[in-house]
Chains A and B, each alone.
Chain A
């Protein structure tokens, strides 16, 4: 149960705690998870969260597919993941218990809404008997049964709400109780409820506040013998913070990138989990000149973005794996015409429709090779929710500076997960300088910058720069050319241009010593767990370092040297070994792949175990 330290007064002080709220998707678990997060953030903890939605919009209440959960890890130290396993589980009904109990740490706290353990509900959750009657439950966990329904209704008996509406407040009872257990402030939440609902539904807002308090006082009055915990403020860098999810950060980064490059942003997408919210959020930023188009499909979406880029906007499109398949042909066109274009893939589980609401990082090889012919384009990846901001800006930088389409890989875990973020100063962000061609007719379509090999765009509306582009092979002047030598030359230029992008990368950061026994080499959303595992082992004195790549294609120029400094290279991925294929073919290095394909992030302990194995070899 967390990392226990000193016992102060009646409180146990913990360094980190992992809590999971689980219930029916109608029970409001995401809402209270968000509230718990905000008050912990405001209190000053570092934290990371991960919501886990059901695949169905609203599966029948009480069923297993209908279970919705929200996990948060918060602490007084740096928090990199939402946590391996919950120290405390709140289960609002039997189905939630059925799905989530197996993850609860032994000895962990288990809060259940006993009222929900009716025969009908038990049956829907495939329980043959009531698990609360199982003595093992009490011996293995700190079981706290609360008739949440009853107390909720009791506390609202003075109000005029219907019985159904009363019961809808029960999530706040659970939240209040957990606030009490973890000695969190509740004012923050009260303010939030007032602000959000007072106007639309004042009676409900007040009811929620009443129930929240009831939950809190329930702890205080009836459970004085109960353990309570304290988690101190985290020692983090001073600054202004906000909470941010991956897709939010991506959206803000795109807008910031476009501003820094002085281009109008044109985003065109087609809804798909977990990328839809990028389109949704961007459509709220019209006052930044952002134009959004909900296209008829993913092909159209990228086509609109390409048209936008041709006409001088910064064209951006985003999707998930199945949509990436559909964009392949157009990516080839953008590659051939060398137009700037940002293509975002928020990855999810596959193949095919796969596991649309689970995370996976299995579209890397598609990003690198998923088009016909030799059509090289850069690929970069975000590594944490807040890092999506920087990654988006980096994508805009590369796309414009090198006049190239670029693929940005994020994933469902990053997109939906959230963490506190120390907000950078916008003035501190470099401008992205790649002007369009001068007007007046001295324009050569594929004339190139000597260093970057990038071409310069001329855009419709510019006098004298009229020109034609297209998907047929062409010569420097932009004329269609079937000449064999020209084709070979253009193909080499495209390849070389990709390579040159690596010259613009900062030196690769190594976490830990620059040489040693094991280097953990990774990319994408696994950053948090890997960094947590490696840091912990470094603190224990083990010879392990890690490098987490943002730039996957091309890879950094200094990577080979870094790899050479280690005896073994461990490549953990949430796929069957895709970075591994790239590393092996590019560096001929006998890496050790470590793969998990369960639609779920790595646990820190899975990684430490694996690293230990390697160290013992």
Chain B
């Protein structure tokens, strides 16, 4: 999945990767493309994990893991970092999801349970400010419940913010007309994707897959 996302990131894009699975996208940037990764804790030009033993506890990513800085990187403070995010300067943000709705609402920060410790971090800033929001997630929960739903039941991270969803079963665009399946995984049928989805899908596999996404970045 991370490889499919990476294939849709154009040369020269500025990209923020959410904590967890989305971080894997950095490993799959196709040869010949230069993509600049931002981490909201204050670094543009984040490089791969450091060689074991050379970690610097003061050079970390938003997931608080040790990283490196590429040549041409820049450090900045938090207000400048979020000015970058909230001012619409980042091209793509790849995030995980608990639920995504047919309208592109995203829930990925809280189960809303009474005794949960609420913790939001930068998720609401990213979905409000970044030009394109890509979701990278398993198609269903571990219990088999759909994550793509008509209406989110968990507290929202943002309303109508998601542009595209990459799952283990399909690539789905959030369009003004609803959820449009652009691609399905090998051996998976459109019917199966629909069955495991809590919202109506349309089959738009004939449209070339990169059509609507990259051209206006």
- Are A and B subunits of one complex? no
